[in-house]
Chains A and B, each alone.
Chain A
Amino acid sequence: MRGVWFWLRWAARDLRARWPQVAAIALIVAVGTGVSAGLGSMTAWRQVSYDESYALLRAHDIRVDLPEGSTVAAGTLLDAVAGLSGVAVAEERLVTPTQVDASRGNRTLLVPGALIGVDVARGGPRIDRLHVTGGRSLTVSDVTTPGVVLERHFADVYDLPPSGEVGLPGGVRIPYVGTMFTPEYFMVTTESGSFLAESNFAVVVAPLLVAQRLAGAEGLVNDLVVRLEPGVDRDAAKTDVANALHDALPSLAASITTIEEDPAYMALYGDMENDQRTMDAVALLIFGAAVLAAFNLTSRIVEAKRRELGVGMALGQRRWTIALRPMLMALEVALLGVVFGIGVGLLVAVGLRDVLESLLPMPVFRTSFQADEFVEAAALGLLLPIVATLWPVWRAIRVPPVAALRTGHLAVRSGVLSPFLKKLTPHGTSLRLMPLRNILRAPRRTILTAIGLGAAISAMVGVVGGIDSFNATIDAGVQEVRSGAPDRLQVELTGIVPVSEGTVEAIAMTPGVQDATPSLRMGGQLLGQEDTPSIDVILEVLDLENDVWHPTIRQAVPSSHLPGIVLAEEAAHDLGLTPGDVLKVRHPVIEEGATSFGSIEEPMRVVGVHPYPIRSFAYLDDADAGRFGRARAANVVMVAPSTGTDVEALKRSLFELPGVASAQAADASAAALQDLMERFTGILRFLELFVLLLALLIAFNASAISVDERARDHATMFAFGVRPLAVLRGLTVEALLVGFLGTSVGLGLGVLAVRWIVSGAASDMPDIGMIVSIAPSTIVTTIALGVLAVGAAPLFTFRRLRRMDVPSTLRVME
């Protein structure tokens, strides 16, 4: 035991002698350990929080959703599934699109949304319960004296009070009595594929009877949620429900989904997994940088101690005991790193918790200390520096004792590049030549330093490039949305109406409207061939040459006898189609006079692709409108305001028209997407700080080691009267060159990291055609930060240079 303490103390003294580098390397390990532990905790928190939140609010297992505009009499859907084994409870609902006017004071706040009518009897709803966060929940009293509740994300975004009043289409003002969470909107998603859409989408929940009255659908429902008995297989139950519905209502087209197919559920859990991939990549890069930095440091410490190792060999010490001291030193560095790492991890965890809670508030949010994540990260943090030390120690103890004992300058070694170095003709003074020569004469050392730096920088490029890629994808969407009349409004109707009816004309005739174009939007499916999965889309039928807005059509081909369809580039890519190809499309058919739709499959020809990055939008020309069963029908009207029109006032005028569900700026979705991206990238931006810190630490470490190793060179220069500033200049030039090399390596690795991160995101969000992009500003900033951070590192060593004990240093024999 006494022997162990002796070795530990000796190793600790070795560390103390190089404490700045040791502190830096420990911090590097700490950042690796801490970030990894913190990121791991985030996933665990989310998993637990989501699971508990869904369980608390008794989320549905299966949902039956009729197409827009399609309704059935109350009780019809319940009757269809009654008697199915495995069904614990089922409830009918009415879910209709709406517009919510939450304007307060001078602020106009008109957003589209959904009105959900639920059964509030006996403390209901019993499925997809409401979790009140302000005010109170719905009761039966809200049927007689109409009252609704507002979805909490929307209320939070606009700081709405827990109770108040909102406006609904048709000039209705109704009090809201509380704000609440509901499982389908734990993450606010919209039909158009937007998620985190709370700034642009308001959900209002009302007693079923109230919702029916407000929507003009008394006695009708269009939605059924089902909760199964514990242990019942959801997919099997889904099939049973589909069969039961088909038997009871053969002509009814309905979407039947399990909770796993719920957009919010998919986004939340999928996002969690995708984030974890990103975080794993970042943690891996950071750990990689830490390992290389540890390797670099221990290599150099072992080299510096080679005479002592040689003495050990000369005294007959066994090899393993000679190796013990540097290995113990590595263990001490690792321990120090892990101890610091726990602190960094807690710091990261606190930061991430704040980001997460603001980004994804949930009824239950568990952020307990994740001991297993910390233990796992700590084990890696402990192991990696030790593994990194093995190689240099192994090399050192294999050297013959006589070679280890030989004195001489550390740097006086032959290098493989010696013949090339001689060809470097000096320009200017020998002092100016030194930095480049110093870099090239020790290529292994230079490469290790550059790779260590590169790993840290690649983590930064990966993170920032990931943000750039998301932004580029959004920008592509924004550009497409803002084409045509940029300030146009999108007016959604309460249902599908013939264009010849008065609603469309009333909109077109509203003062301030310069032009109006009707379109019909309906759900559909692009059917894949063989193993290619089908894609759910919104089919929009409009005049593809109208002046208000039409999609940008690329690779257009002439039409044929088949109806033509314009697909998103991403959809065409995913289905393996190019313009001119034919695919099968399943789409609804409106039956004249009916309140529900049928659906058919028919071949269509791809006549072009559009650049909007969300693949779930497809367009047909209104010449083919007859395919949908009713010629010239519309549920959306795009409006171009006249020049000088007060757009807010126009929105209000349109909103007050009968048959209008909502009126909003067409680019509102673009603004919402940008807002979403700002918040979505919050975690990445948070990590940016740590990777930058890491790059700085590695830079400092490399520089400090360099100053140590060159101490005698510098002392000799001082003896010849070279001033410290001139020495510093040489060190800075050398550091800048290494920084440039490391940054180049980092950029190269970073591009790969971005591709990896984006491909992960793309596979988890297949509806979005992700664009891999690294902004020029990112490249410039990375180069500037990488090169300057490393170049500036020698400044921290200037004090040591100035205070150098020149006589003692001159006599040092390594």
Chain B
Amino acid sequence: MDRRGTSQVIESIRTEPRHPGHRDTAATMVLLDDVTRRYELGGVTVTALAGVDLEVDEGEFAVVLGPSGSGKTTLLNLIGALDEATSGTVTVAGQRISGAKRKDLFEFRRRTVSFIFQSFNLFPGLTAAENVRFGADVAQADADVDRILADVGLGDRRDHFPHELSGGEQQRVAIARALATENPILLADEPTGELDFRSGVQILELLRDQAEAGMTVLVVTHNREISRVADRVIELASGLKVSDGPPKGGRAPIADLHW
């Protein structure tokens, strides 16, 4: 699949209605239609997501907000093709994920999305530069590893192993690894969850920068403060979408954040 041609594809499958805050010039990158995800846990059926509709545009910096158990990580996993919806359809970058073959889902993850995790999930046997190189290798992208590391402020830490880096630095390596894939969608699950405030802010700045550069960024968090810097806030509670729109009081500068 050609990652550069997704906008055109998505235009051709668009359905009504547009989400709040939609920019007419932007293509839809994520489209969820009446998506439900149920699990069987110890003989009990748990509904993690119930009939969620969602549309996210190219270049949007969206925050999925909600308390623990609200379904926000499930939503991210469905968009990233790590999980499968019980019902409804998930379409990402023009590719219908629901019902896709396993082989195609691997291909989709290689070419379309990249992940950032709360606990970084760097490969401990690889240096910072090699971890970033991994992203490029997997996606077969021709990324400039050193430039990306410099962009995230780690030009001088390229040969350090993860255990030699601070938590904030590790998360920046994780972002660099995601960027090296050159995939159009970045999915971040509680990216500041294990970081101190200062490191967390640096990470948010980096993510924001990616959105401004045209990447679609979805951040899942329970930290309401983070949602203030987003273009759009999708709030979940008990598996239901309870609100969707720009942050209350408008988008705040990152410098105004505190937690």
Contact = CB atoms under 8 A, between A and B. Distances in A.
A429 B132 CA distance: 11
Contact of A414 (B134, B163, B189): B163
A594 B123 CA distance: 94
- Which of A434, A712, A721, A806 has the most B CB atoms < 10 Å from its CB? A721
Contacts of B225: none
Given A418-B164, A719-B80, A721-B138, A811 B73 contact: yes
Given A719-B82, A720-B114, A720-B115, A433 B108 contact: no
Interface stretch (A404-412, A519-527, A530-538, A759-767): A404-412
B111 A721 contact: yes
A412 B162 contact: yes
B159 A441 contact: no
Nearest to B170: A412
A737 to B, nearest CB: 13
Given A720-B110, A721-B111, A723-B106, A434 B125 contact: yes
Contacts of B83: 806-807
A719 B115 contact: yes
Interface string B158-169: 010111100000
Nearest to A411: B124
B148 interface: no
Contact of A431 (B82, B108, B134): B134
A719 B107 CA distance: 11
Nearest to A713: B123
A721 B178 CA distance: 12
Interface size class of B (residues with CB under 8 A): 35 or more
Interface in B78-121: 80, 82-83, 103, 106-111, 114-115, 117-121
Contacts of B162: 409, 412
Contacts, number: 111
A437 B73 contact: no
B126 A430 contact: yes
Contacts of A810: 82, 115, 117, 121, 189
Contacts of A414: 163-164
A722 B115 CA distance: 13
A365 B7 CA distance: 86
B127 A811 contact: no
Given A430-B137, A721-B139, A421 B161 contact: yes
A717 B161 CA distance: 18
A716 interface: yes
Contact of B110 (A433, A434, A441, A721): A721
B134 A412 contact: no
Interface in B141-187: 159, 161-164, 181
Nearest to A434: B125
B208 interface: no
A720 B119 contact: no
Contacts of A429: 133-134, 137
Interface in A705-729: 712-713, 715-723
B156 to A, nearest CB: 14
Contacts of B125: 411, 421, 433-434, 437-438, 440-441
Contact of B161 (A418, A806, A813): A418
Contacts of A2: none
Nearest to B160: A422
B135 interface: yes
Contact of B163 (A413, A422, A433, A437): A413
Interface in A790-814: 806-807, 810-811, 813
A502 interface: no
A315 B80 CA distance: 39
Contacts of A161: none
A807 B72 CA distance: 12
Contact of B134 (A712, A720, A807): A720
Contacts of A722: 106, 110, 138
A809 to B, nearest CB: 10
B113 to A, nearest CB: 9
B123 A426 contact: no
B121 A716 contact: yes
Contacts of B223: none
B159 to A, nearest CB: 5
A426 B108 CA distance: 27
Nearest to A438: B125
A719 B114 CA distance: 8
B130 interface: yes
B202 interface: no
Nearest to A410: B124
Given A722-B138, A810-B115, 19 more contacts: A407-B194, A408-B119, A411-B125, A412-B124, A412-B162, A421-B161, A430-B130, A430-B133, A433-B125, A437-B125, A438-B125, A441-B161, A713-B124, A719-B82, A720-B115, A720-B181, A721-B139, A810-B117, A811-B189
30 contacts: A407-B119, A409-B119, A409-B121, A413-B163, A422-B127, A422-B159, A422-B161, A429-B137, A430-B133, A431-B134, A434-B123, A434-B126, A441-B161, A713-B124, A716-B117, A716-B121, A718-B106, A719-B115, A720-B110, A720-B115, A720-B135, A720-B138, A721-B110, A806-B82, A806-B83, A807-B74, A807-B82, A810-B115, A811-B189, A813-B119
Interface of A: 407-409, 411-414, 418, 421-422, 426, 429-431, 433-434, 437-438, 440-441, 712-713, 715-723, 806-807, 810-811, 813
Complex A-B, nearest 6 residue pairs according to Cβ-Cβ distance, in ascending order: A721-B110, A437-B125, A721-B109, A429-B137, A430-B134, A411-B124
